[in-house]
Structure 1
């Protein structure tokens, strides 16, 4: 029976993820101990989001969730503590842009801005997704469903199977290249027990009869999988290996790996590693 083998939450967009054994699935993505996936994001002084695409060393910014704070660490720096519950703190709302979507976000303050500016070597600010703002996935792909998301690239969840990565890595090894870990592709949910790329053909994923997820769009891959998530060093892009057989016509021939997923029913359920997943195939 297919099952969940990995769960990962990324509190700050493009920074290191946190592997968890269980998480709550909200309509807008995973939540763990009061922290939501992609709840924070870095922006330049014009409000444009920044990511590993421009600053690959963001991969080395580590996050730890404590009882009251998100602790952020980088080599040789004093830890930055971000209050998880800051409802009593006056917030400065600033305009930001993620891809083509403009919204207002809560500025995390000058201390956080100075900390990240020193890490990246460029002036930037940290923002948090505002409780007063809504952002939805593209209805061209979700249909009648309004699927909320925070600072993800566009969808609340990304799902990949272990077999898909194994297929890629076998081809890499056959070409004399090194295998890569799953974290290069930054999924939220990894499942095992299915064939390579079977997730592409799923109509739904039913997790332990309490949560139904619907894949809505294959995930086009950008240069980020070239970034070693431990070192922040850019190397050969494993997406190159996918080019001969993973160009997807439904996204204008882009190379895809993994599926963007939304919640159809059961939002608020807790899922865990080892939970069984029943897959309905779209015919």
Structure 2
């Protein structure tokens, strides 16, 4: 979503000043709540996001924070309760997570003060392992093509220049889905949430999708990728040291500085074919 604003445009080192209409990405808070099967509502998180796809954002966030593991964990009706800048997701009758424990152990990003080793160990403790691990291989030329394919559909970024994107591709380079948001972690939660809501599996994993990030690869994005079982993460920008450590710990192929003709492979290069 975008908003029209008026700006003074300064050019030619201040010699040329004009007033023009511009567009910016909208940023508003979203409060995410859970409703237990006993009827009690628990506030889980408040995130600053671009309005739209809030249901996907909520369930994607709840999955990557190890609260939801399957579409069957929540009621069929989505959203359960949706208001202005808040959403409540109803848990299904046969699913009763220890919400108080989740609240005590909750963290959202590498900026929250949790040290790297504790953060990675927390993911190990909460992440479920798929019954069948499907490994993937991707051609070199396929990877080179991904940034351009994402840019073609980034309509909000093209109009505002101030928004992040995350996209899933098949191993042959076909775009599966993408989402945009002012927050890079929100864009990924929306993307994962969209696939989560379509899944009918007992345990939700995205083992066969390539994830492309429009910016840098931070720890919280690799944490979310690990929780969703993603095996290959590509970023247009740079990874952080903890992102690399997380990728190494969970067997994720991490690629950074991806553009047409070049990229860096930081972990598990064996999944990239035709390296020479």
Q: What is the TM-score when the length of structure 2 is the normalising length?
A: 0.29
Q: Name which one, 1 or 2, has greater alpha-carbon Rg.
A: 2
Structure with more of its chain in helix, by fraction: 2
Greater strand proportion: 1
Higher relative contact order (CA 8 A, sep 6+): 1
